[in-house]
Each structure stands twice: as structure tokens, then as C-alpha cells.
Structure 1
Amino acid sequence: MASECEGKSSWPELVGVQGEVAAETIKRENPHITTVDIVLEGTIVTQDFYCTRVRVWVDENGIVISVPTIG
């Protein structure tokens, strides 16, 4: 699905950085992204897909734990 979306679609280089820093980087690198959600590990979220959204999964310290991708 991500290939249907415009611009950069994943950010593997952000694993291990602070969630807020990751969110700002994503917004800067893909202007088509309108929503960046920082989500605590274990939180239940909907499974819907949006080309304009990225979820940044973080641990209890706010560190990115998985590759942020469009969706």
C-alpha cells in the first residue's frame, strides 16, 4: 500500500531516537504527511490505512522501537 502514497514512506534510520525528534523529521522529509501520531508500545489502534499518516511507536522512555511507516 505504501507504494501508492507520495514521497518517502518509511524511516528505518529513526529507530532508537526520541519520538518527538522522529515526528519532526518525518514531517520535514515528506510534506504529504499531515498526521504523525506518537504511540506508546502496547496501545491498541485502528487498522485503517492513510497515506497522510505515520504512527511512531515508542517505548516508555519515548524512544522509537520500530520503523515508522506510512499508514
Structure 2
Amino acid sequence: MEGKSMLKLSHVLAFLLLASRIDGIEVLQLPVENDGEFVLCPGKQSWPELVGKPAEYAKQIIQKENPIVHDVRHLFSGMPKPLSYICGRVFLAVNFKLIVRVTPSMG
């Protein structure tokens, strides 16, 4: 009986790994070519020019310059950044006045 359970579990695991999205979260992302180098997410990856700009303005620029960005979140001082890398997510490290303090980047 254990062999059949392991086979079923392996089928479920294979399905999850091959699925492109589960509840809007990308599970498996293959590298794509971006300006001659392979990256996990296509398009612009970081925005150093937005340091010192208001967070709402930065969000608009990021979404305009990389259309796959669907989730822009604020990180205040002392908040940990999640270790999971998700294409289409950008964190804005902001101060209490919602001014970007660190270069925003994909992930």
C-alpha cells in the first residue's frame, strides 16, 4: 500500500511543479533572455532612479516600465523582506513619509 501512496504523492508533486500558477503565485519559472543574459523575470528588474521619490509615483513608474509587475508592496524600516522570489512582485522600502529609501527591485 505504501508504494501506491508514494506514486500518488509523486503525481501530485509533479503537477504542482509543472503548474504555471496556483492562486496567482507563479510556482515554476524558467529563465528567459533579457538583453543577452538569462533572468527569471522578463523586463526591467530594478529602479535606482526612484530612490527619494514618493511611493505612489514609484509604483506607477514601475508598473509602466515593466507590465508583468502586479504586486507593489511597502516595507517600512525594520520589516523583514520575504525570502521567496516571485516574478511580478516589487518591494518599496519606504520611510514614515512614504518616500522610497532603497532601490526597488523585482522579487
- Fold similarity call, TM over 0.5: yes
Deviation of the 1:42 alpha carbon: 1.4
* Structure 2 CA distance for aligned equivalents of residues 67 and 3 of structure 1: 18
| Bigger-Rg structure (1/2) | 2
* Structure 2 CA distance for aligned equivalents of residues 29 and 14 of structure 1: 12
* Structure 1 CA distance for aligned equivalents of residues 75 and 97 of structure 2: 12
User: 44-53 or 57-66: which moved more?
Assistant: 44-53
Q: Which residue of 58, 65, 80 maps to 1:22?
A: 58
Deviation of the 1:48 alpha carbon: 0.6
- Tell me the TM-score normalized by structure 2: 0.61
- Tell me the TM-score normalized by structure 1: 0.89
Deviation of the 1:41 alpha carbon: 1.8
- Does the CA contact (< 8 Å) of 1:16 and 1:64 recur in 2? yes
| Structure 1 portions without partners, runs of 5+ | none
* Structure 2 CA distance for aligned equivalents of residues 70 and 61 of structure 1: 22
- 1:47 is matched with 83
* Structure 2 CA distance for aligned equivalents of residues 45 and 4 of structure 1: 19
RMSD (Å), alpha carbons: 1.7
| Structure 2 portions without partners, runs of 5+ | 1-30, 32-37
| Higher relative contact order, chain-length normalized (CA < 8 Å, sep 6+) | 1
- 1:5 is matched with 41
SS in 2 for 1:22: helix
Give the fraction of aligned pairs with identical amino acids, expressed as a percent.
37
Matched residue count? 71
